[in-house]
């Protein structure tokens, strides 16, 4: 039988320990149902580990182990302790958690040297008066029993530093608790306390107080005496207000007030300047006091499940904030000052996460947000953003589906450009490393840069195109889009008129590899009236020349979309005076701008000051280029623009 084998194995280990004069013996995890009587021979034993067996009782032979300092019996099936335990007078640590004990024997009074006693998860309904003899006890864990009261005898445990009474049925604490002046940690969570005894005032060394899951409606003024308190959990009670006395808790670092009935916070909160984590979730708060700004060390804040309609602007002063949870409110917008939270790493404005360690299992909550402020782009440390269950505008929603990088690219582009989406744009798109950035640099007249770094997201720079005959200058915003696929859904958000589109491809890799048709399709899907110029780059005498089926592309998309094809070498010639094909491309861009952007948009041009009568004038709408070849249209526009008045950049 398995039990017989386990018993025999235990006997062998005992014998070996006897022969070696061992001071430690491990009989854990053996499925033992009884302990061999031979254990009595190990009189020099100091540590005996019997955890994770199936023991229902201890033999009287245990009385011989008078040198024992640590006895581990957790995870067994003990219903009682023998009187023989009284002989273990040298015992310092006794582990009895996860058994079936219904009472402790009076014999426990003999364990006067005991420092740690773990009795959690048993069936104790009361403690014997004999517990008063354990005057050296420093840690006592009675969690998850059935205690309805704590005896006055506990007053004798004056060395106690940690006391865990959680998950019992206590309705009150005895005044004797006042004697535990060395107590540093007191866990009273999940009981039925309706008030906190005034005696709590004597626990001046207390650093942790857990009152989670009771029935407290108020806190006593006596709490002001807990000046060493660092962690205070008052969650899941019935508090409607906090006393001003809370201002005395100047060492407090973690405060949990979630799931109460608070409608406001006192100004006294300003005194908690050491606070690092604050959980206010699921109360009835509609605003925060201005004094909240004094919590300058706050790193984690939860406001989930309150009644905020406006985001508390005072939060934007908390510049060390790293985690912010604000799900399940009614917030309609974030202030532009939100960008001040530059250390923010995690932001939950929707989803299932209520606070740093609390989640909904199945339900998802959000707010009423439709957009994010431009200052959001300043959150460079942000790695996690949840906007679930918010009525986001379509463009932001599309970006959010692609992840945080896409959201930031979307917001950054709008912010850095400082333009609206309906302003004139020159959009350069194509696969990665086909030369978009180099071409934009050439169009701008920038100095050539070897090994230019790859663009990530979107770069926006002004481009000036000038008609060589008329001297007309037009400034466009050149949008250089990174070719990585992660950004592609975001880029489409900016495909809007008025704009000229340059689809860039690299001849030496072929048009198919450059996904020319796919890029034009993306443009057409977003902006059916778009005008596209297809540009081949990175060519040259010693490299493969452009090889693209122009007619196939025109047949597929139409002449009103694909206006013409160009080949440009963005790197200047050896004389460094010009780039092959660049002048022709600039002239084509100028024509499309004058034909399709400004006449349609009605953008005024500033008078150059040469004496023309009217201060502003719109470019006259010429014949559409779809009615003639691009070279013909260019020539016509050049002839038309020769006039006495010249015009400078558009007024934005």
Tens of pLDDT, residues 407-420: 888 887 665 544 44
Of 310, 312, 388, nearest in space to 278 by CA: 312
The arithmetic mean of pLDDT across residues 81-107, rounded, is: 96
Residue found by looking up tokens 């970006």 in the block? 399
Q: What percent of the chain has pLDDT over 90?
A: 60
Out of 42-56, 316-330, 402-416, pick the least confident.
402-416
351: which DSSP letter?
B
Q: pLDDT digit string (tens) for 249-272?
A: 999 999 999 999 999 999 999 999
Residue found by looking up tokens 């300092």 in the block? 69
Which carries the bigger pLDDT value, residue 12 or residue 474? 12
Please state, rounded to an integer, the average pLDDT across all residues of the chain.
84
Structure confidence at residue 647 (pLDDT) = 25
The arithmetic mean of pLDDT across residues 421-425, rounded, is: 58
Which carries the bigger pLDDT value, residue 80 or residue 539? 80
Structure confidence at residue 643 (pLDDT) = 33
Q: How confident is the model at residue 198 (pLDDT cuts 50, 70, 90)?
A: very high
Helices (H), 102-215: none
Question: Measuring CA to CA, how many Å separate 575 from each of 36, 539, 571?
Answer: 99, 18, 11
Tokens found for residue 494: 């900016």
Does pLDDT of 528 surpass 90?
no
What 3-state DSSP class applies to 566? strand
Does pLDDT of 491 surpass 80?
no
Q: How confident is the model at residue 618 (pLDDT cuts 50, 70, 90)?
A: very low
Q: pLDDT digit string (tens) for 284-295?
A: 999 999 999 999
Q: How confident is the model at residue 352 (pLDDT cuts 50, 70, 90)?
A: very high
pTM: 0.73
Of 352, 425, 437, 348, nearest in space to 385 by CA: 348
Structure confidence at residue 487 (pLDDT) = 58
Most confident of 333-342, 475-484, 527-536, 581-590: 333-342
Structure confidence at residue 218 (pLDDT) = 95
Structure confidence at residue 472 (pLDDT) = 65
* Contact between 532 and 566 (Cβ < 8 Å): no
Give CA–CA dist 424/407, Å, rounded: 22
Structure confidence at residue 540 (pLDDT) = 45
Structure confidence at residue 371 (pLDDT) = 94
Q: pLDDT digit string (tens) for 223-233?
A: 999 999 999 99
Rg, C-alpha atoms of the chain:
39
Which carries the bigger pLDDT value, residue 481 or residue 246? 246
- Find the angle CA(607)-CA(612)-CA(615) to the nearest 5 degrees: 45
Q: What percent of the chain has pLDDT over 70?
A: 81
């Amino acid at each position: 039988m398995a039990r017989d084998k386990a018993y025999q194995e235990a006997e062998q280990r005992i014998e070996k320990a006897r022969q070696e004069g061992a001071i430690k013996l491990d009989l854990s995890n053996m499925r033992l149902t009884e302990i061999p009587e031979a254990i009595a021979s190990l009189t020099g034993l100091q540590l005996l580990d019997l955890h994770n067996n199936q023991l229902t009782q201890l033999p009287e032979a245990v009385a011989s182990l008078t040198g024992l300092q640590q006895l581990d019996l957790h995870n067994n099936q003990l219903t009682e302790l023998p009187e023989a335990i009284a002989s273990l007078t040298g015992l310092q640590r006794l582990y009895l958690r996860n058994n079936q004990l219904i009472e402790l024997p009076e014999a426990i009074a003999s364990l006067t040297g005991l420092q740690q006693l773990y009795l959690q998860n048993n069936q104790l309904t009361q403690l014997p008066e004999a517990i008063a003899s354990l005057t050296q006890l420093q840690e006592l864990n009675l969690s998850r029993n059935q205690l309805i009261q704590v005896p006055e005898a506990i007053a004798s445990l004056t060395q106690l530093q940690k006391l865990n009474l959680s998950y019992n049925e206590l309705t009150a604490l005895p005044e004797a608790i006042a004697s535990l002046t060395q107590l540093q940690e007191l866990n009273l969570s999940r009981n039925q306390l309706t008030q906190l005894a005034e005696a709590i005032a004597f626990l001046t060394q207390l650093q942790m107080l857990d009152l989670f899951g009771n029935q407290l409606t108020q806190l006593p003024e006596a709490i002001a005496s807990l000046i060493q308190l660092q962690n205070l959990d008052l969650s899941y009670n019935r508090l409607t207000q906090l006393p001003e006395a809370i201002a005395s808790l100047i060492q407090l670092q973690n405060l949990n007030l979630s799931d109460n009935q608070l409608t406001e916070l006192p100004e006294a909160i300003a005194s908690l300047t050491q606070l690092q984590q604050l959980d206010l979730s699921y109360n009835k708060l509609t605003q925060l006091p201005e004094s909240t700004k004094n919590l300058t060390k706050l790193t984690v804040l939860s406001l989930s499940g309150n009644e905020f309609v406006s985001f508390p602007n005072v939060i934007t002063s908390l510049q060390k904030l790293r985690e912010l949870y604000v799900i399940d409110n009614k917030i309609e917008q974030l202030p532009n000052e939100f960008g001040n939270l530059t250390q923010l790493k995690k932001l939950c404005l929707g989803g299932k996460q209520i606070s740093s360690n609390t989640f909904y299992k199945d339900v998802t909550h959000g707010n009423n947000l439709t957009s994010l402020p431009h200052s959001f782009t300043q959150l460079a440390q942000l790695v996690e953003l949840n906007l679930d269950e918010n009525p986001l505008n379509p463009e932001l929603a599309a970006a959010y589906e692609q992840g945080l990088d896409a959201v930031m690219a979307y917001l950054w582009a709008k912010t850095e450009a400082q333009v609206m989406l309906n302003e004139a744009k020159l959009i350069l798109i194509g696969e990665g490393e086909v030369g978009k950035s180099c071409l934009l640099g050439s169009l701008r007249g920038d100095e050539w840069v070897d090994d230019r770094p790859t663009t990530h997201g979107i770069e926006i720079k002004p481009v000036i195109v000038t008609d060589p005959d008329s001297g007309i200058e037009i400034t466009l915003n050149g949008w250089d889009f990174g070719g990585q696929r992660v950004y592609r859904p975001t880029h489409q958000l900016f495909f809007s008129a008025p704009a000229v589109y340059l689809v860039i491809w690299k001849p030496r890799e072929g048009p198919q590899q450059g996904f020319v048709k796919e890029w034009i399709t993306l443009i057409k899907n977003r902006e059916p009236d778009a005008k596209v110029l297809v540009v081949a780059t990175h060519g040259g005498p010693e490299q493969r020349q452009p090889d693209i089926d122009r007619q196939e592309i025109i047949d597929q998309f139409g002449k009103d979309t694909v206006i013409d094809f160009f080949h440009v070498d963005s790197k200047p010639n050896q004389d460094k005076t010009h780039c092959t094909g660049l002048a022709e491309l600039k002239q084509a861009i100028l024509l499309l701008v004058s034909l399709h952007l400004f006449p349609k948009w009605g953008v005024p041009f500033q008078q150059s000051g040469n004496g023309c009568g009217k201060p502003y004038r719109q470019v006259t709408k010429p014949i559409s280029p779809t009615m003639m070849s691009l070279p013909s249209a260019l020539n016509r526009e050049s002839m038309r623009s020769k006039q006495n008045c010249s015009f400078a950049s558009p007024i934005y």
